[in-house]
Structure 1
Amino acid sequence: MAASRKSLSNKAAAAVADSLARHVPPRARLTLALSGGLDSVVLLHLLLAQRRQHPFDLQAVHVHHGLSPHADRWADFCAQLCAARELELSIHRVRIARDDAAGIEAAARRERQRIFAVLDTDFLLTAHQQDDQAETLLLQLLRGAGPKGLAAMAEAQGRPGWRAAHLRPLLGVPRAVLLDYAQAHGMAWVDDESNQDTRYRRNALRQQVMPLLATHFPGAAATLARAAALQADAAELLDDLAQLDAATAVAGDRLDCAALAGLSRPRARNLLRYFIERHGQPMPCARQLNEALHQLLDARHDARVCVRLGQVEVWRFRGGAYLAAVAPAPAAPVRWQGETTLAVPSAGVSVRMDAELGAGLKHAMLAAGEVALGVRQGGERLRLHAGGPRRSLKNLLQERAVPPWERDRLPLLWCDGRLLWAAGIGFDADARAAPGESGIVPRVVA
């Protein structure tokens, strides 16, 4: 038994050593996500043992979700564990609404990743292991995911918006090996009682499905993890193909619809998926992706094409496909009362009102009237040139090729109900400040 446990210890240690050697340069800054559970406590022990052979700076981070009555005790355990090893620990407390529309698991994951994204470190390490990988593959398979989703978790990856790279050194190590390692070294850890709650899908897989699979298919977890690695290879090949197609089809934020139409449907779908991901957006479900592709390629040339994909929309405009954030919820215009900067919720921006001599709108006119800022309601007209006609804002936007997703969130300024300014279009000619006259210049700020 002693020899067997030593072998298991060596397997866990070798996995961490190999991962560090392949991904982590000497003297890199590492931050371990320490929950206090078995996996992260073992990873901490293994990392500390590696510092002589592979020098690096190590600290830990603990996210206090506040969902369990034992959460304070877990944070205290992590603090004591790190203090005994003279290791710096930062504890972040988050609030998670139990009625969050995304679900408690997704909300907790979202809060953790929000914290991890801004950590000032080179690598963020998590203790995901082989059984986690197998469970993730099954979850993705049951969601109908494609190769990228079925690739499950990567050992090392960069994440959009993160300062650090995400490293999972234990991804090839079974949970049983970590348990034996901890017991062999007399280690203590905390158990999250929610892990037994089979109302959560991952727990149901872990507690009920995986043991049954192992009964009929010995080594099922390792086999599933191997399948995930094969899917990762397939996903990489699909990305390589998408990059080849994107070289001629994508320019900046525009995907050429004619080039998309020249590809087979599977290849076009792959390119559209790549285009969405390249813009840092999560992958839409198959139904949404297929609908977007259908609308982009098959809708009439004069149709207004807009398909919602989560928090973004895909638009077709002048032969190209574009991604745009979903417009803010409708809101009433806001009144300007002399503020230097005024938030315009319906436009999703703020407008700075700069005082300038001989520029912008007549200050006296604005001061004497009721000034409001908002977005199009329909029927707005603007006179851009002295003595010229008051032209419809709709025609002005079309002439300037303003994309349709920008038209309905374009900040406008009215005085006593008369449109005097449209961002990017111009000022009412009769309201312009004359040379030497006090003026106000509205400017859009993020």
Structure 2
Amino acid sequence: MFSPRELQTRLQRSAGGTALLPADAALCIAFSGGLDSTVLLHSFARLGCYRVRAVHIDHGLHSDSALWREHCEREARALQVEFSSLRVAVTGIDELGLEAAARDARYNAFANELRPGEYLLVGHHADDQLETLLLALMRGAGVLGLSGMQVYEPFAAGALVRPLWDFTRAELEAWARAEGLRWLSDPSNDNLALDRNFVRHRIVAALRERWPAAAQTALRSTQHLQEAWRTLDQLAALDADGIIVEECVDVARLGALNPERRRNLLRYWIRRRGARPPSTRKLAAIEHDMLAASADRVPCVAWDGWEIRRHRGWLYCEQHLPPLDAEQVIDWPSDAPLNLPASLGTLRIAPAESGRLDAAKLPAKLTVRFRAGGETLQPAGHAFHHKLKKLLQAADILPWWRERLPLIYAGKQLVAVGDLWIAAEFVTEPGEPGMTVAWDERPTIVARDRPRT
């Protein structure tokens, strides 16, 4: 049966004798005011050996959300626990669905809120794990998806922990009622149009009639699947040696793996880049397009805000490039930094020992544009003008970045291309101090050399 002391005992046992939460750990409890988070908050506040605070997320999706926030604040204050509330905007509902969009908004807020070294505690329990397993089955998930929620995982500046994961909801409710606790009931939990609610009320309820211990049994299965996933991850780490180099994948060596290990390595690499693994169909498209396309092509496969491209025998996995207005002209007072659009970083004019840009030749206001085609430049140290297209090719600039490089102009004259080249007519005289164009937070724009055969 559940009790705060039993909770602490299991946390110590679950980490092989070492407490999952160190003594005097700083805990941030995700406090919705529902049964699970209420039990979580009261338990850790009563244990007294941790530094506890509560953070409430207001999704703004219900007319009573302000009342829920007030309830949560009263509960936290009564326990003498630090409390804060964050209002989030839930976007992407059409693409992700309401549940997933709200979850993303919630976890993004927690990621920004979590303090260094702090543990985010969430109230997921064994019944939640059973529901997650059943939903994953209906999605046709692989080993990782079927393994469900982890009891511990790195998160933002700290870690995310699910202390209640091997207790059932019935156990938590029995303790809460015995202690006279008060909690909120979200009416949306009864909406059977939402997948998790349908599974909870229709599927899990029926399973329990036949198998009362269904949640605990499913928990054992997910633990076996987590062990299998860790083994696959270890295999991928071994296969990655010599294939993944500085976060790029050697296409030829990838293709030499058998299909099962190749797909396993792709999933491993994609997760390591911070993306969600793609669906089976999308992964098959990645496999086919990246291995089968002719050498002169630069194929691209996109999913969930990420893109994989191939260039010169390497695969690159990057976040989707935001749209860019090719006709945009941006004014730039040269005495101040310029934040570029589309997450391209920041430009500034700065003194530098190796700089050759003559500030005296610059107007007070520059402009920044992007390639329209036909641009020419005589870079400092070159005897002739060159087409910018040829310069970019010779410098091994990745094809998908060539249209996104900031071109710096003084009137109609091209002064510089990012921090790559300065036009000869704007350089200093020999021996004179110079400036440089600094491009802070510059993306990785230069291609890797071809893999060694």
- Name the residue aligned to 2:9: 17
User: Match of 1:146?
Assistant: 142
Q: Aligned with 1:324: secondary structure? A: strand
TM-score (norm 2): 0.87
Of the structure 1 ranges 143-152 and 353-362, higher mean CA displacement relative to structure 2 is found in 353-362
1:324 maps to 318
Q: Are 2:423 and 1:423 aligned?
A: no
Report the identity percentage: 34
Alpha-carbon contact 1:383-1:390 (below 8 Å) kept:
yes
Which one is further off, 166-175 or 204-213?
204-213
Residue number in structure 1 paired with 2:44:
47
- CA 1:209 to 1:33, structure 2 compared with 1: closer, same or farther past 3 Å? same
Cα shift at 1:386? 6.4
Q: 1:200/1:163 Cα in 2 relative to 1: closer, same or farther (>3 Å)?
A: same
8 A Cα contact 2:119 2:159, kept in partner: yes
Among candidates 171, 178, 181, match of residue 172 of structure 2: 178
Instruction: Give the C-alpha shift of residue 240 in structure 1.
Output: 0.6
- In the alignment, which of 376, 385, 394 is matched to residue 381 of structure 1? 376
When residues 167 and 99 of structure 1 are mapped into structure 2, their CA distance, relative to the original with a 3 A threshold, is closer
Q: Which amino acid aligns with 1:428?
A: A
Q: Distance in 2 between matches of 1:337 and 1:163?
A: 36
Q: Aligned pair in 2 of structure 1 residues 9, 172: CA closer, same or farther (>3 Å)?
A: closer
RMSD: 2.6
Q: Secondary structure at the match of 1:408?
A: helix
What are the Cα deviations for residues 24-72 of structure 1, in whole angstroms up to 9, with x where unaligned? 1212112221111111112223324433xxx222222212222222222
Structure 2 stretches lacking a partner, 5+ long: 442-453
How do 1:239-278 and structure 2 match up within 5 A?
239-278=233-272
Q: Which amino acid aligns with 1:235?
A: W
Q: What is the alpha-carbon distance in structure 1 between the residues aligned to residue 278 and residue 91 of structure 2?
A: 25
State the shift of 1:278 in Å.
1.0
**Which runs of structure 2 are paired with 1:129-208 in the superposition (5 Å)?**
129-159=125-155, 162-208=156-202
Deviation track 1:265-321 (CA, whole Å, cap 9, x = no partner) reads 111111111111112222222222221122222111222122223322212222221
Aligned mates of 2:353, 2:127 — CA distance in 1: 69
Cα distance between partner residues in 2 of 1:25 and 1:34: 21
TM-score normalised to the size of structure 1?
Answer: 0.88
CA distance in 1, matches of 2:373, 2:283: 32
Q: 1:19 to 1:416 in 2, by over 3 A?
A: same
Q: Secondary structure at the match of 1:173?
A: coil
Amino acid at match of 1:431: F
Distance 1:68 1:16 in 2: 35
* Structure 1 letter corresponding to 2:147: A
Aligned positions of 1:286-365 closer than 5 A = 286-331=280-325, 332-338=328-334, 340-345=336-341, 348-354=344-350, 360-363=356-359
Instruction: Please give the per-residue CA displacement for 1:331-350, whole angstroms capped at 9, x wherever unaligned.
Output: 11313344512233157222
Matched, 1:228 2:222: yes
Partner of 1:27: 24
Answer whether contact 1:346 1:374 (CA < 8 A) is retained.
no
Q: Aligned equivalents of 2:209 and 2:106: distance in 1?
A: 35
CA contact (8 A) 1:380 1:393 kept: yes
C-alpha change, 1:314 and 1:442, in structure 2 (3 Å) is: same
Structure-to-structure mapping, 1:380-419, within 5 angstroms: 380-385=375-380, 388-419=383-414
- The runs of 5 or more residues in structure 1 that have no matched partner are 1-7
Letter matched to residue 422 of structure 2:
F
Rounded to whole Å, the distance in 1 between the matches of 2:188 and 2:255 is 49
Of 17, 31, 36, which residue of structure 1 is paired with 2:33?
Answer: 36
CA distance in 2, matches of 1:367, 1:43: 62
Q: Structure 1 residues 311 and 360, CA, compared in 2 at 3 Å: closer, same or farther?
A: farther
